[in-house]
């Protein structure tokens, strides 16, 4: 399964909420640096997440169509330098 650019905006917000919940459960300290790559190591998204769980400074969604293959990998680094790596399957971002 692929994540297409027309799915990107809705999926990014859904994914951000789920990542926020996971980071809170692991007691990670915001702001968070989030780097997401596809199965082929292509950049899907790079962003910061603020103390209230909002995405800021989002980059990575190209001008041309995005076709990232699952599974995606999210590498999250908190303010203290702690890192969490999460494998993202399609059911996490596609409703």
Range of the domain at 42: 2-92
Q: Name the region of 60 (left: φ>0; alpha: ψ -120 to 50; beta: rest).
A: left
What Rg do the C-alpha atoms of the chain give, in angstroms?
12
Q: What is the pLDDT of residues 6-35, one digit of tens each?
A: 666 667 777 788 888 999 999 999 999 999
**Is it the case that residue 91 has pLDDT exceeding 90?**
no
Quote the number of domains for the chain: 1
**Close Cβ partners of 45 (under 8 Å, ≥ 6 residues apart):** 12, 34, 35, 36, 58, 59, 60, 61
Structure-model confidence comparison of residues 51 and 4, the more confident one: 51
**What does the pLDDT read at residue 92?**
77
> What is the separation of C-alpha 93 from the centre of its chain, rounded to a whole number of angstroms?
10
**What does the pLDDT read at residue 66?**
62
Q: What is the pLDDT of residues 44-75, one digit of tens each?
A: 888 899 998 888 887 765 555 566 788 989 99
Specify the DSSP element, H or E, that contains 66.
none
């Amino acid at each position: 399964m692929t994540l297409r650019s027309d799915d990107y905006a809705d999926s990014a917000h859904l994914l951000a909420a789920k990542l926020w919940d996971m980071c809170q459960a692991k007691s990670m300290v915001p702001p968070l640096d989030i780097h997401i790559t596809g199965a082929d190591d292509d950049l899907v998204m790079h962003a910061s997440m603020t103390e209230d769980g909002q995405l800021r400074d989002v980059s990575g969604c190209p001008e041309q169509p995005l076709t990232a293959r699952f599974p995606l990998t999210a590498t999250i680094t908190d303010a203290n330098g702690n890192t969490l790596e999460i494998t993202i399957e399609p059911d996490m971002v596609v409703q």
